[in-house]
Amino acid sequence: AQSVTQLDSHVSVSEGTPVLLRCNYSSSYSPSLFWYVQHPNKGLQLLLKYTSAATLVKGINGFEAEFKKSETSFHLTKPSAHMSDAAEYFCVVSDPGGDDKIIFGKGTRLHILP
């Protein structure tokens, strides 16, 4: 069965500094991996997705993630944080060759310090 672990429940960075949100996954197959963002009292927005075409995936708003099979990781990065990035971020896994479940991590709340 697939699962995902987000290693930090809260991350604080200063505006203009890099962001790193960590995610490890477990999957019996070649997984589909996603990052979603949720701003306060808002719905869920897809940031980026891993489709197996390339290990480095670029998303919206300057975010990137790198799929590392040997480390079973899919960490989310951004070179320079902006105040508008303050939100909760979810790492998500799905097994295209298995059942149809989509499993969320517990989330990482990103705080941006002025």
Partner 1 sequence: NAGVTQTPKFQVLKTGQSMTLQCAQDMNHNSMYWYRQDPGMGLRLIYYSASEGTTDKGEVPNGYNVSRLNKREFSLRLESAAPSQTSVYFCASRPRTGHGTEAFFGQGTRLTVV
- The stretch among 14-22, 62-70, 75-83, 88-96 that binds partner 1 (CB under 8 A) is 88-96
| Distance in Å, CB of 13 to partner 1, minimum | 20
Give CA–CA dist 67/24, Å, rounded.
10
Q: Is 100 in the site for partner 1 (CB under 8 A)?
A: yes
**Count of Cβ atoms closer than 10 Å to residue 15 Cβ:** 14
Pick from 26, 28, 39, 44: which binds partner 1 (CB under 8 A)? 44
* Residues of the chain by 3-state class (helix, strand, coil), percent to 5: 5, 55, 40
Give the nearer residue to partner 1 in terms of CB position, either 46 or 83.
Answer: 46
| Distance in Å, CB of 80 to partner 1, minimum | 26
Assess contact for 3 and 104: CB atoms under 8 A. no
Give the nearer residue to partner 1 in terms of CB position, either 11 or 107.
Answer: 107
**Count of Cβ atoms closer than 10 Å to residue 78 Cβ:** 21
Give CA–CA dist 93/105, Å, rounded.
8
Residue ranges binding partner 1 (CB under 8 A): 6, 9, 30, 32, 34, 43-44, 46, 49-52, 90, 94, 96, 99-107
